[in-house]
């Protein structure tokens, strides 16, 4: 689920994902229609979170991705939120979550726990980070790299900066 067609096409071509452009269709409705009995999926992941606008953490988030996740998941389903939210979440539908009996799993990923296993996968050739890297730049060009990534220019997925 995304609104960038190039990322949706990449996910389809590379992973066999079903692309859902939330600017063109109601993502939750589309996902529900794909499930048996139109019940929704067992679990969803909101990896978007809050786009930082400052460091005060007092600004609210409308959390549209989180609301779509809650709508797409079945009764008794799981909503995983590794995406970071800061400050209050406006329009959070706690009653809907309660009614559906949803389980929420959230928090920062314990990166250090997974690093050894991930490095082993890379060393064995089972995982290639090269698949998502689209840009390599010198550290001195970091501002340009961030701009390309932020503006989703040049079909950017990930930028690697090297000294």
DSSP annotation of 52: P
Q: Residue 62's pLDDT is what?
A: 56
Rounded CA-CA distance 86/101 in Å is 24
Rounded CA-CA distance 94/100 in Å is 10
Q: Find, among 43, 52, 53, 47, the residue nearest to 66 by Cα.
A: 47
pTM of the model: 0.77
Q: Residue 60's pLDDT is what?
A: 53
Strands (E), the chain: 41-45, 73-81, 103-106, 133-138, 158-162
pLDDT at 23 over 60: yes
User: 144-157, pLDDT tens digit by residue?
Assistant: 999 999 888 998 99
Fold exhibited by the domain 1-109: Rossmann fold (3.40.50)
User: 41-84, pLDDT tens digit by residue?
Assistant: 999 998 876 554 444 454 555 578 888 999 999 999 999 988 77
CATH 3.40.50.720 residue ranges of the chain are 1-109
């Amino acid at each position: 689920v995304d609104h960038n067609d190039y990322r949706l096409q990449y996910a389809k071509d590379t992973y066999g994902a079903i692309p859902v452009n939330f600017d063109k269709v109601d993502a939750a409705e589309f996902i529900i229609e794909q499930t048996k009995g139109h019940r929704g999926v067992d679990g969803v992941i909101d990896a978007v979170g809050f786009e930082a606008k400052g460091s005060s953490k007092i600004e609210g988030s409308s959390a549209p991705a989180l609301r779509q996740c809650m709508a797409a998941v079945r009764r008794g389903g799981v909503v995983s939120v590794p995406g970071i939210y800061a400050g209050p979440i406006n329009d959070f539908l706690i009653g809907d979550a309660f009614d559906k009996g949803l389980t929420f799993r959230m928090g920062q990923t314990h990166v250090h726990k997974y690093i050894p296993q991930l490095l082993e996968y890379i060393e064995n050739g089972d995982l290639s980070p090269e698949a998502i890297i689209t840009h390599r730049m010198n550290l001195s060009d970091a501002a340009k790299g961030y701009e390309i990534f932020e503006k989703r220019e040049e079909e950017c997925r990930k930028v690697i900066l090297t000294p």
